[in-house]
Structure 1
C-alpha cells in the first residue's frame, strides 16, 4: 500500500516503551482470526473458491484502509484518546452515540456468537471423548470460566490469551498441514456436474467478510504503545491483516478442496455451526488425526476470540457505566457483560451464523462508515499533517460504498430477498 507520511519519527521515550512491529502485527492478527473463520466456507460456498478469494481480497483491502483512516484521525489527538473521544469531537455527540450503540451491539452479538460456538465445539469434543454433554450446558459452563477470568483482571486475560493464541497457531499449522495433502483440484474447481452459478451469491457474503476482518478498536490502543509513529503502526495493521488474509485463504483451500459444493447445503441446513463443519471434514477424510486436530484448533480459536471480545465489551461498559475497578465494581461489570448473551445462548444455542451476520450489519457503522467520515472530517479540520491515507476522496468513497453495501446486503438477507446456497 502506498501512503503519504509527513510525520517525524516518534520520541525516544515512545520508542523505548514500544513493542516490536511483529508483536503489534500479532495483536492485530490474533484479534482478527478467531471462531468467525469457521463461518466463511459455509456462507461463501455459493461463490465457491475462486469467488471467495476475490471477495476476501476486496474485504481485506477495504477494512485495512478503514483502519488506516482511524489512524489518520487518531494522530491528531493525544496518545490514549479513545475511539469515542475522536468520534465525539469530529462528528458530534449524536453520531458518537450511534457509533457507541453499534460498538455495544457488535460486542454483545459476538459474545453471544462465541457462547453458541463454544457450546458447539465443547459438545463435539466431549462426544469424541465418549462423554455426553449438551451444547447448552457446555456453552454456559465455558462462559462462566471466561467471565471469571475477565473479572480477575486484564493481566489474567492477557496471560490466558497469550497461552491460547500460541496453542492456536501451533494447532493451525498441524491441522492444515494435514488437510492440504488431501485437497482435490476437481472439487476445488467444482468441475463436475451441478450448479455453476456463483456471482448471484456475492452480496450475502459481504457482512460475514466484514466481521472476519474486525480489528478497528485496537488502533487507538496501538498508538498508546508506539506513540505517534504512523509508519510502525501502519506496518502493524498491514502485517496483521495480511496474516489473517493468508490464514483465511488456506482455510478456504482446505475446506473447499475436501468438501464438495453440494455438501455445504446440508451443513447450512444443520445450522452451519463449527461442530457440523468439523464432522463433515472428518467424515470426508476418514482421518481420526485430522478430526482431532480440527477439534483442538476450533477450541483454541473460540477461546482466543471469546476472551478478546468480552474483555473489550467489559472495559467499554465499565467506562460507560462508571463502575470502579475494585472486585465489587468488576463483578457488576461482569454481570452486565455476560448475563444478557448467556440468556440468549441458553434460549438459542444454535445461533452462531445468524449472530455473526448481525454483527456484520452493526460493524458497518463503527468499522467502515465512521472511519471514512473521521478521515474526511480530520482532513478538513487538521489537514492531516502527520499521516494521510493514499487515494484521496475516491478511497474514502470506496470504503463508504463497501460499508453501505454490507449493510444493505444484510438487510436484504434478513428479509429473505437474496439468493442463498441452501
Structure 2
C-alpha cells in the first residue's frame, strides 16, 4: 500500500517505538485505579473480557480517524476533519464533548490527588489534611506550573514520569509476588454471581482507552504512512491493555472480592484502594513506594489532561500567550474543577464514568461517522479500515451500548455490587 500524498521518503523515519509510547503514555494514567473497583462485581475474567472488547473497538475507532485524516493535508486537526465531513453541528457537539472530558478528568484527578495526599499526610507524617484542601493545594501548585510555560510543564512532566516508572516497577513487582490464586479466582465464593454487574463497567473501560486526539499528531509525526501509524496504534494500545491486565491481577489477586464492598461504599476513591493494597505487605518501605506511585500517577495524568485543556481553551477564547493571557486561560482551566473538588471531593469514580459517556461521542460515534462519510466523499483511499460497513455499524453499536449502560447505571436500574 503506497501513499499518493508525500511524506517523504527523504525524511528520516520516525521511531515506531516513540509513536507507540505516545499512545501508551496517553492511555495509561490515574484512571487505571478505577478499574479494579468497578470490576469488583463482574470480577477478573468477565472484567478482562470487556476490557479486551473495549480495546479492540477503541483501536478500530482510532484507525477510522486515521482513515479520514489521510484525505486531508498533514497537520489538519481533528476539529477540521469533523467540520468538513460531518458539518458545523457535529463539530460543535464534538468540541463540547472533548472539553467536557478534559474538564471532568481534571476534576477527577483533583479528587484523586486530594484523597491520596490526605492518606500520605496521615500515614507518613501524622498530619490530618482534609482531602478537599489537599486537592486544592495540588491543583493550585500545578496550575502555577502550567501558567509559567509549556516548557515548564515538560520539565516537571519528565521528572514525574521518571519517578512514576520507577515506582510502577517496584509496586507491581511487590504486588505480583503476593498474588493469591484463590482470591483472584474468587474460589471461596461458590455461589457468586458476576454477569448482572457486567454492563455497568463498559463506560469505565472506554474511558481507560482515550488516545484518539493524538491520531492527527501521529500523522504529523510519521507523515502519510498508514502502515507505520497503524503499527504504532496497535503497539501502544496493546501495551496499555497488558499493563491494565497486570494491574487487575495485582489488585484482584491481593484484595478479596468482598473486601471491595467497603471501598465502593466509601465512594471508590483512590485512598481506600491504596490503603487496602498497602495492607498486603508489612514492609513499610513498600507501602511508601505504593503511595509515591499513586501520587505521581495522578500528577502525570493531571499534567497531560490540563495542558490539553489549557491549550484548547486558549484557542477557544482567543487568549494570547502573554503572562496575563496565560493567567486568564489558567483561571478558566482550573477554577471550575477546583470549585467542584471543594464542593464534592469524593467524586473520582463518578467523574470517570461521566468521562466515559462523553468520550463515547468523540472517540467512538464520531470516528465511525467520519469513516462512513469519508468513503462516500472520497472515491479512492490509501487506507481503509477492514470490515467494511459492518465494522462501522458494529462500532456505532458499541457506542450505543456504552451510552445505555451509563444511563441505566445513573438511573439506578443496574445492580450494584
TM-score range, shorter chain: over 0.9
Q: Secondary structure at the match of 2:11?
A: helix
Is residue 187 of structure 1 aligned with residue 146 of structure 2? Answer: no
Match of 1:400 among 384, 389, 396: 396
**Map of 2:124 onto structure 1:** 129
Is residue 363 of structure 1 aligned with residue 359 of structure 2? Answer: yes
Is residue 118 of structure 1 aligned with residue 113 of structure 2? Answer: yes
Match of 1:47 among 33, 36, 42: 42
CA contact (8 A) 2:8 2:223 kept: no
**Map of 2:308 onto structure 1:** 312
TM-score by length of 1: 0.95
Q: 1:107-147 CA deviation, whole Å, 9 max, x = no partner?
A: 11000000001111111111222233221111111111211
CA contact (8 A) 2:178 2:280 kept: no
Q: 1:307-326 CA deviation, whole Å, 9 max, x = no partner?
A: 11111111111111111122
Give unpaired runs (5+ residues) of structure 1.
none
Shift, 1:331, TM fit:
1.1
CA distance in 2, matches of 1:289, 1:258: 18
* Count of residues in Structure 1 that have an aligned counterpart in Structure 2: 416
Q: 1:201-260 CA deviation, whole Å, 9 max, x = no partner?
A: 111000000000011111111222222121222122111111111110001001111111
Match of 2:226 among 214, 226, 230: 230
Shift, 1:27, TM fit:
1.2
Match of 2:159 among 159, 163, 179: 163
CA contact (8 A) 2:361 2:399 kept: yes
Q: Secondary structure at the match of 2:384?
A: strand
Larger CA deviation: 325-334 vs 201-210: 325-334
CA distance in 2, matches of 1:344, 1:356: 14
Q: 1:393-419 CA deviation, whole Å, 9 max, x = no partner?
A: 111111111111111100111100011
**Map of 1:11 onto structure 2:** 7
Q: How does 1:323-334 map to 2 (within 5 A)?
A: 323-334=319-330
CA distance in 2, matches of 1:270, 1:195: 25
Distance change (3 Å), C-alpha of 1:140 and 1:61 = same
Give unpaired runs (5+ residues) of structure 2.
none
Is residue 257 of structure 1 aligned with residue 253 of structure 2? Answer: yes
Q: Cα RMSD (Å) of the superposition?
A: 1.5
CA distance in 2, matches of 1:161, 1:52: 31
**Map of 2:83 onto structure 1:** 88
CA contact (8 A) 2:39 2:201 kept: yes
Q: Secondary structure at the match of 1:262?
A: helix
Shift, 1:6, TM fit:
4.5
CA distance in 1, matches of 2:134, 2:329: 23
CA distance in 1, matches of 2:157, 2:294: 15
Is residue 383 of structure 1 aligned with residue 379 of structure 2? Answer: yes
CA distance in 2, matches of 1:382, 1:170: 47
Match of 1:73 among 68, 71, 76: 68
